Amino acid sequence: MSIGILSFGGYVPRARLSRQAIVAANAWFNAGLKALGKGERSMANWDEDSVTMAVEAARDCLTGIDRTTLSAIHMASTSFPFQDRQNSGIVAAALDVEGGIQTLDLSSSQRAATSGLAAALRMAAGDGAPILFTAAEKRRTKAASPLEMTTGDGAAAVLVGDGDPVATFLAGHTETVDFVDHYRGQDEAYDYTWEERWVRDEGYMKIVPAAVAAVLAKAGVEPGAVDRFCFPAAARGVAAGLARKMGLREDAVADNLQANLGEAGAAHPLIMLVHALEQATPGEKILVTGFGQGCDALLFETTEALAALPARMGIAGHLARRRAESNYQKFLAFNDLITLERGLRAEVDKQTGLTTLFRNRGMVEGMIGGRCTQCGTLQFPKSNVCVNPNCGAVDSQEDQPFSDVRGRLNSFTADRLTYSPDPPAFYGMIQFDEGGRLMSDFTDVDPDADLRVGMPMRMMFRVKDYDTKRGFRRYFWKATPAENTITEE
């Protein structure tokens, strides 16, 4: 039995906020921000959160994979949208794999992803059944803080289990130390961080080497044999300093993606791992670490199966799917960091009937429509009567997933009267290539976008709206230009 990573995927929001825009707005108060003003950070759209990003990373990871083979879906994050609702269960519903599958949320530490991945690998070693492990972050940061400059939003996913892995799991080790470099108390919106030099000298430089030395010893691997070292800290020079101290090669230090993404919290070790796998060749040893109240160290070795993996967007593809953003006010509004007058149209009660949501969860969360067994006509939503005027069969429809079916734009409009957190509201008619159509909201569309009838469209799982009065959010699927997601085959 060979346990390891069978597949991988990633997701980075399309918008990239210029750090110079943050500096221009806040340097009057904190001049020290100028030193962090290079590059850009990923910026989630108003309708994105850790769950929607996890879904997109999972879809990317499951390219060419039969989803019915999954035994579990685990999700790690410190920015879950729900404190008491299983967020990984929403991911399972969106992937249309509800039923006999285990779901699990992991949180409360910046190493939630690496600790969770280590646990998933141990579980997979028990019965070999594939486990989808995903991590995502959309962290809120105080305006004019260094953390606002260095943080980014993103997600990654790996499928682990027994089989023909693209990366074999060699060994893992954890050092647990209640070293508090930062924390976020109950009901607090923001992290409280401690002094950076102390964290570096007493935390990174002492705890990480102990974990790495132990994992290399377990695997019987010399430090110089490590080809890629993934250390997620945003602080400059720390990873290189650790490499020197631990005897790793200088060229083994992996790009921490600070220049064009930022540090995505607990998800960042997994993001760096996926990015390393995208660049790796067979036979490379990849060391990934997660730091937070101790350190996890996981060692993998890539195999020949890596070259046969179907094409996917991954982290590199999503980094290339970039739209520059220089409007810092938009970033503040999207993250609820300012009180914005949203107008009367925003005051409509958004209460969700949980009974109705449950009864229609297949349609709403899984985007399940119908296929007529008599004539083969596809339709969304599913109904008791076939919409084909030449058929009209009753109770003839079987479930038909639409989330991965490509479509074309039939019609569209940009509406500035309808309330939208990011006006104008774009929506229109999508004609699916295999049949069926849907009047859909659009997402990730530029205000001056060159939308055109007939252009390819792809569905993405997003937040439909927020019920701020009750703390609930509704999810649904929205259309986006396919040229902004995955290259057409």
In the chain, where the domains are located: 3-182+191-334, 344-367+402-484, 368-401
Contact assessment for residue 211 and residue 295, using Cβ atoms and an 8 Å cutoff: yes
**Across the chain, what does the average pLDDT equal?**
94
What is the Cα–Cα distance from 195 to 334, expressed in whole angstroms? Answer: 29
Alpha-carbon distance values, 375 to 257, 291, 378, 402 (Å): 51, 56, 9, 18
> Residue 410 half-sphere exposure, CB side, CA atoms within 13 Å?
14
Interior/surface letters 296-332, b for 16+ CB within 10 angstroms, e for the rest: bbbbbbbbebbeebeebbbbebbbebbeebeebebbb
Please tell me the CATH code under which domain 3-182+191-334 is placed. Answer: 3.40.47.10
Q: What is the pLDDT of residues 301-325, one digit of tens each?
A: 999 999 999 999 999 999 999 999 9
Q: What is the DSSP letter of 201?
A: I
Range 344-367+402-484 classified under CATH 3.30.450? no
How does strand 407-415 pair with strand 40-43?
Answer: unpaired
Indicate the pTM of the whole model.
0.95
Alpha-carbon distance values, 154 to 42, 104, 127, 302, 452 (Å): 7, 20, 31, 24, 29
What is the Cα–Cα distance from 215 to 247, expressed in whole angstroms? Answer: 14
Query: One digit per residue, pLDDT tens: the chain, 489 residues?
Result: 689 999 999 999 999 999 999 999 999 999 999 999 999 999 999 999 999 999 999 999 999 999 999 999 999 999 999 999 999 999 999 999 988 899 999 999 999 999 999 999 999 988 878 999 999 999 999 999 999 999 999 999 999 999 999 999 999 999 999 999 999 999 899 999 999 999 999 999 999 999 999 999 999 999 999 999 999 999 889 999 999 999 999 999 999 999 999 999 999 999 999 999 999 999 999 999 999 999 999 999 999 999 999 999 999 999 999 999 999 999 999 999 999 999 888 889 899 999 999 999 999 999 999 999 999 999 999 999 999 999 999 999 999 999 999 999 999 999 999 999 999 999 999 999 989 999 999 999 987 777 999 999 999 999 999 999 999 999 999 999 987 554 433
What is the Cα–Cα distance from 305 to 361, expressed in whole angstroms? Answer: 37
Q: Which residues neighbour 133 within 8 Å (Cβ) at sequence distance 6 or greater? A: 73, 74, 75, 76, 113, 116, 117, 120, 157, 158, 159, 160, 270
Q: What are phi and psi of 205, to 5 degrees?
A: -75, -15
